[in-house]
């Protein structure tokens, strides 16, 4: 093959071959010149391109915690810029002494979708507690809207999962991999996002809730911040209930996630099961994801609840009035957030 092409090349006139070599040499010189120019101008060109890209700079100022705060992982109570009105439920009612039973419901993962968050505010009964993600955009606007409608609110506290990093709770999560000081920074950030909320609710946490050493100072900090702790993930050996009981931290555990199966029939079956728990124990706590179907079912279900001898109540009302010798529930919903 090479001999064939050599013979063909030799058959071209000498003048043609000379001009080919001249053209090839010129092309090589041109490429070398372009590469040299790019090398000389690259820094200046990158700076020029970057200068044309719109940018914005945000300055976040945070006051460093005191040595005492770092040692105990206990943030100062977060000030409320606009304290929300009290929830619409009458806290003066004494639970269990009047023969009635109560159910508290938490709508979780709000703020991540404007559509579903607005639907929750406009659809759900006012006694349903609303839990917002600290990563939500326009979070303060949503919290203020909830306060304006006299709704009880929670801020989600991201916690390390047993399957991390497959299930990632995000950059501000409480983690066994972090020091107490680092967890303190994350906790302060979460609480600062949740101004006006009555407490926190864990997001994931199947690993962190087992770590008594790291969990204890976090719960101490919540106690000093006058916050409730709602546990949505009972993992069998979770230390949360025991530690909360030791320090008197207001604590409730969810009994059922009512919409793991997102069909109307399945949701109603779970609500019926929640009613049975409430009638047996005097109260029950359910949690749901912000699916439009779930909200529709909850609206119709709650309308007939009082006829069945059950009252829908916010978490604070249940905690303040329930018997405190009861053990928390152990059935837990999935850690997965709604897609």
Question: Where residue 57 falls among pLDDT bands split at 50, 70, 90?
Answer: very low
Alpha helices in the chain (DSSP H): 2-11, 14-52, 67-72, 114-123, 139-148, 180-193, 212-224, 240-247, 264-281, 292-303, 315-321
Peptide bond into 165 cis (omega under 30): yes
Whether 4 has a pLDDT exceeding 90, the answer reads no
Give the mean pLDDT of the chain.
81
Give the Cα separation of 232 and 335 in Å (integer).
Answer: 8
Tokens in use for 108?
């979780």
Higher pLDDT, 232 or 47: 232
Whether 330 has a pLDDT exceeding 50, the answer reads no
Whether 66 has a pLDDT exceeding 50, the answer reads no
**Percent of the chain scored above 70 by pLDDT?**
72
Contacts of 122 (CB under 8 A, 6+ apart): none
Q: Which pLDDT score, from 0 to 100, does residue 23 have? A: 76
237-263 mean pLDDT: 95
Burial of 165 (0-12, 13-18, 19+ CB in 10 A): exposed
Whether 217 has a pLDDT exceeding 80, the answer reads yes
126-145 mean pLDDT: 97
89-100 mean pLDDT: 51
Q: Which pLDDT score, from 0 to 100, does residue 42 have? A: 58
Give 289's Cβ-side CA count (13 Å radius).
19
| pLDDT tens string 255-290 | 999 999 999 999 999 999 999 999 999 999 999 999
Give the Cα separation of 83 and 295 in Å (integer).
Answer: 27
218-223 mean pLDDT: 97
Burial of 234 (0-12, 13-18, 19+ CB in 10 A): buried
The one-character DSSP state at 95 is T
The residues with which 331 forms a beta bridge, in sequence order, are none
């Amino acid at each position: 093959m090479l001999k064939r092409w050599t013979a063909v090349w030799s058959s071209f006139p000498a003048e043609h071959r000379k001009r080919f070599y001249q053209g090839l040499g010129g092309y090589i010189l041109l490429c070398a010149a372009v590469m040299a120019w790019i090398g000389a101008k690259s820094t200046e060109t990158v700076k020029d391109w970057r200068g044309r890209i719109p940018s914005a700079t945000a300055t976040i100022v945070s006051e460093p915690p005191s040595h005492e705060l770092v040692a105990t992982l206990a943030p100062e109570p977060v000030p409320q810029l606009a304290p929300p009105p009290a929830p619409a439920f009458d806290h003066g009612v004494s639970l269990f002494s009047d023969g009635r039973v109560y159910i508290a419901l938490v709508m979780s993962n709000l703020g991540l979708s404007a559509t579903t968050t607005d639907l929750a505010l406009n659809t759900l009964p006012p006694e349903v507690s609303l839990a917002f993600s600290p990563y939500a955009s326009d979070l303060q606007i949503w919290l203020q809207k909830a306060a304006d409608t006299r709704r009880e609110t929670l801020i989600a506290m991201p916690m390390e999962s047993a399957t991390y990093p497959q299930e990632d709770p995000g950059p501000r999560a409480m983690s066994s991999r972090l020091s107490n000081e680092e967890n303190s920074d994350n906790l302060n950030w979460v609480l600062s996002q949740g101004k006006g909320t009555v407490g926190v609710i864990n997001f994931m946490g199947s690993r962190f809730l087992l770590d008594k050493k790291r969990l204890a100072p976090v719960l101490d900090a919540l106690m000093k911040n006058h916050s409730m702790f709602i546990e949505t993930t009972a993992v069998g050996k979770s230390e949360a209930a025991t530690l909360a009981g030791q320090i008197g931290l207001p604590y409730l555990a969810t009994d059922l996630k009512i919409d793991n199966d997102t069909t109307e029939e399945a949701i109603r079956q779970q609500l019926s099961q929640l009613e049975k728990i409430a009638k047996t124990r005097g109260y029950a706590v359910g949690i749901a994801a912000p699916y439009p179907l779930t909200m529709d079912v909850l609206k119709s279900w709650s309308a007939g609840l009082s006829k069945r001898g059950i009252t829908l109540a916010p978490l604070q009302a249940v905690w303040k009035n329930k018997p405190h010798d009861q053990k928390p529930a152990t059935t837990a919903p999935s850690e997965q957030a709604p897609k």
